[in-house]
Amino acid sequence: MRRWRSNRLLFLAVSLFFCMGLMLVSQTGILAPVEGLVAVPLNAVAGMFTNIALTVTTGVSDLAELQRAQARIAELEESLAQFQSEIVELREIESDYNRLAELLDYTTTATNQEFVAADVIGSDTSELRRTIVINRGARDGLREGMPVVTAEGLVGRILDVSANASRVLLITDRESNVSARLQSTRVEGTVQGQLSGNLLMSLIPLGQPITVGDVVITSGLGGNFPADLVIGVVTSSRQFEFELYQEAQVTSLINFDTLEFVLVMTSFEPVDLSVFESETEAQ
């Protein structure tokens, strides 16, 4: 063991002496040709390692940039999602505001009438029944038979009432009958709902002119609705042979499929004429 250690020290001393000798000789320039020959492969190897180091450094830098870019993209996507949500919310607010503004304009133009605004919370627009449910009821002063309208015209009438909700029979329901008249000629008839969801004005006297585009309004006869509420416009008319009356197809200005807000006429009280019919039958 001691011999091995002494050999190592001797080898180290010889190596240091040899290196110092080489350095001294190199200073004189004698080893310049040899150094040039040895430097060629060493420079090649050094250049290779330098390129590898630069490639690794560039790759690490690119990876860091990519990670930062991905993090930034994630932040921007999150911000975009929030902005889109806010835009959708603002559009809904704008849409609700416009519809409520229209209803407010209608209430200001309708004199001597009081209204309660309501949201549509349910609907049944099947072929057998056409009704909607609103979020106002007896607590809000609503009663059966009260007219329901929008700025575009007549929606229907209250059919059933609970404490905080009501069911509205639409004018497009086949059981709906509204006494009506043509606005231009004042010719009277009855508007009925059809299975197709359209409106039919019947019982129009023969010989009376029916103009396409004429506005159909409520006549007030029968006491179920106030007069002069818009029902729709005439789209066509027909008369069958040997019939005593004419008919006209009427289209409502209201899109019942997208109905969201309505007004209930709380100041109008339908007139019950059944007592007079009973007296007539008794006589």
In this prediction, residue 274 carries a pLDDT of 62
pLDDT tops 90 at residue 25: no
pTM, entire model: 0.64
Mean pLDDT confidence for 32-38 = 55
**Is pLDDT larger for residue 126 or for residue 32?**
126
In this prediction, residue 277 carries a pLDDT of 58
pLDDT tops 80 at residue 283: no
pLDDT tops 70 at residue 155: yes
Instruction: Please give the mean pLDDT across all residues of the chain.
Output: 79
**Is pLDDT larger for residue 24 or for residue 191?**
191
pLDDT tops 80 at residue 6: no
**Is pLDDT larger for residue 1 or for residue 194?**
194
In this prediction, residue 197 carries a pLDDT of 82
> Can you list the domains of the chain with their CATH numbers?
115-270 (2.40.10.340)
In this prediction, residue 181 carries a pLDDT of 93
194-248 pLDDT tens trace: 988 889 999 999 888 999 999 999 998 888 899 989 999 999 998 877 778 999 9
Q: Three-state secondary structure along the chain?
A: CHHHHHHHHHHHHHHHHHHHHHHHHHHHCCCHHHHHHHHHHHHHHHHHHHHHHHHHHHHHHHHHHHHHHHHHHHHHHHHHHHHHHHHHHHHHHHHHHHHHHHHHHHHHHCCCCCEEEEEEEEEEECCCCEEEEECCCHHHCCCCCCEEEECCEEEEEEEEECCCCEEEEECCCCCCEEEEEECCCCCEEEEEECCCCCEEEEEEECCCCCCCCCEEEECCCCCCCCCCCEEEEEEEEECCCCCCEEEEEEECCCCHHHCCEEEEECCCCCCCCHHHHHHHHHC
111-130 pLDDT tens trace: 677 889 999 999 887 767 89
pLDDT tops 80 at residue 17: no
In this prediction, residue 90 carries a pLDDT of 66
**Is pLDDT larger for residue 270 or for residue 5?**
270
